[in-house]
Amino acid sequence: MSHGARVIHTGVSSGGPAAPPPVTVASSSAGSDGELMDGGYFRSCAGMLKVAQMISLLIGFISVNNSPWTDYSAYSFFQIVTMCDLVMILFFYIMHIFRVYRKLTCVSWPLAEFLHYLIGTILLLIGSIVAAAKSYNITGLVAGATFGFLATILCVISMWSSYKVSCITQSTSKYH
């Protein structure tokens, strides 16, 4: 019984977009590595999830920023966390679009992105809970906390899909 090499194609990966089907690779392999941007990442699940995260973080930030604050420390923490998460997600999005992870191989990009999501999600959850508790039914603050919770859920989905792909890749390559 012979075990050949298996290739796992997934739609979501923290190490970059999934490899296209073999037919597409054969027909467009000449220009795919020479291109500056990865147009397929825009339409991938990981790319659209990052855009949804950035939009929800931006809406949460704007909602809180344009509302009368009742507790300065709670909402300044929420704003700092949402902006830091937005900047880091934008950084990883640009990194995938321009394929920086292929050029800078000294960094474990899947691990860096996973740790970002882990720490950022925990801080965003704390900030959203505090913002919701201190909102006193002011609509802008409630909306900001709601979009903070939405961004938290989207970050958990990204973290879970990243971890799931890493575990599947490790377990199949270990036994085959």
In Å, the largest CA–CA distance within the chain is: 70
> Tokens 């991938």 identify what position?
44
Domain boundaries, the chain: 46-173
Element (H, E) at 22: helix 22-32
What's at 117, amino acid-wise? Y
Digits of tens for pLDDT over the chain (176 positions)? 444 444 444 444 445 444 444 444 433 433 355 677 888 888 899 999 999 999 999 999 999 999 987 788 889 999 999 999 999 999 999 999 998 888 888 989 888 999 999 999 999 999 999 999 998 889 999 999 999 999 999 999 998 887 776 566 655 555 55
What global pTM score does this model have? 0.73
> Tokens 């941007």 identify what position?
37
Residue 65 tokens, joined:
């920023």
- d(C-alpha 71, C-alpha 45), whole Å: 37
